[in-house]
Amino acid sequence: MTSASSTTATDDAWEPLASDRHGSWRLAAGDMAHAVTVPFVPVLIAEFAAAARVFPIVFSNSDPSPIAILGLDQHNLFVKDGVWESEFAARIGDAQAAGEQQADIYVPAYIRRHPFALLRTTDEQHVLAIDKTSPLLRKEGEEGTPLFENGKPSATVASALQFCEAFRQQAEATMAFVRALEARELLIERRANITLHSGRSLGLTGFRIIDADKFARLDGPTIVEWHAKGWLAPVHFHLASLSRLQALARRQADADAEHDGRTNANGQSESQLPTASA
């Protein structure tokens, strides 16, 4: 798992940030529209507690990175009209009341770091890169905050670098957790078959979950070791998060009802979780 790839941009969209190339560029305030076509994102072990309240957390089948499922049909069900919507708002359809209850809103760090990321160089170093296709960037004009001031990185870039470096470090900690799960053969392949009230069937494949029974049989020394490393709680957060698939199904049903002219109530579709990197 590295910081180089992105679900929201192709690999060739990323380029190292440099004053000679991006000296006049600015970062404009924007919404979450860039994330509307992102149905799965990697999550870090430090995010499990917050993310598990809102999303199902699973592990990719081909690359067992932890992944938050944001949608069942190739779209992020949490973004509507450019706004990251809470479960509360979606459930009662009252945006004003939703403003009074924000605890069920969580935007994964993978989304929040946009349009920045760290790229790994050939000598195993990391440089800050930018998604040159991002709608938040302005290549000319005065809108937004500058990326460079007097040829030097601005406070915006310094903050982005700090965030991305923290993300990279947490990604390494996350992979240590995943390697421990693999070493104990705790990850088992699963699929989800979901039928909406309309009769529409959805399938989700290409993911793994932790075998709860096998986890419960871990030996004492391993339990002590994992407790010391902070790995027990993430296991429980992951297992608890699986119940959020029902909430996703409700969101999908609402989205289908809103766009019924473009959906087939009797159709079937299947989504496969891709190899995901953080």
Structural domain includes residue 183: yes
Quick check: bond before 56 cis, omega within 30?
no
pLDDT of residue 273: 53
Q: What is the 3-state secondary structure (H, E, C) of 198-234?
A: CCCEEEEEEEEEECHHHHHCCCHHHHHHHHHHCCHHH
- Lowest-pLDDT choice from 38-42, 100-104, 165-169, 175-179: 100-104
Between helices 232-241 and 220-229, what is the axis angle to 10°? 90
pLDDT of residue 8: 46
Structural domain includes residue 153: yes
Structural domain includes residue 6: no
pLDDT of residue 227: 97
pLDDT at 5 over 60: no
Measured from the Cβ of residue 263, the count of other Cβ atoms closer than 10 Å reads: 17
Structural domain includes residue 81: yes
Mean pLDDT to the nearest integer, 120-146 = 92
How many structural domains does the chain have?
1
pLDDT at 224 over 60: yes
Structural domain includes residue 5: no
Query: What's the pLDDT tens digit per position in 88-111?
Result: 444 334 444 444 445 568 999 999
Structural domain includes residue 205: yes
Query: What's the pLDDT tens digit per position in 229-260?
Result: 999 999 999 999 999 998 898 888 888 887 66
pLDDT at 169 over 60: yes
Query: What's the pLDDT tens digit per position in 60-88?
Result: 988 778 999 999 888 899 998 888 986 54
Report percent pLDDT > 70 for the chain: 82
Structural domain includes residue 103: yes
Structural domain includes residue 4: no
Q: Are 77 and 92 in contact (CB under 8 A)?
A: no
The per-residue pLDDT of the chain, averaged, comes to 84
pLDDT of residue 28: 94
pTM for this entry: 0.83
pLDDT of residue 272: 54
Give the residue numbers spanning the domain of 159.
Answer: 11-272
pLDDT at 148 over 80: yes
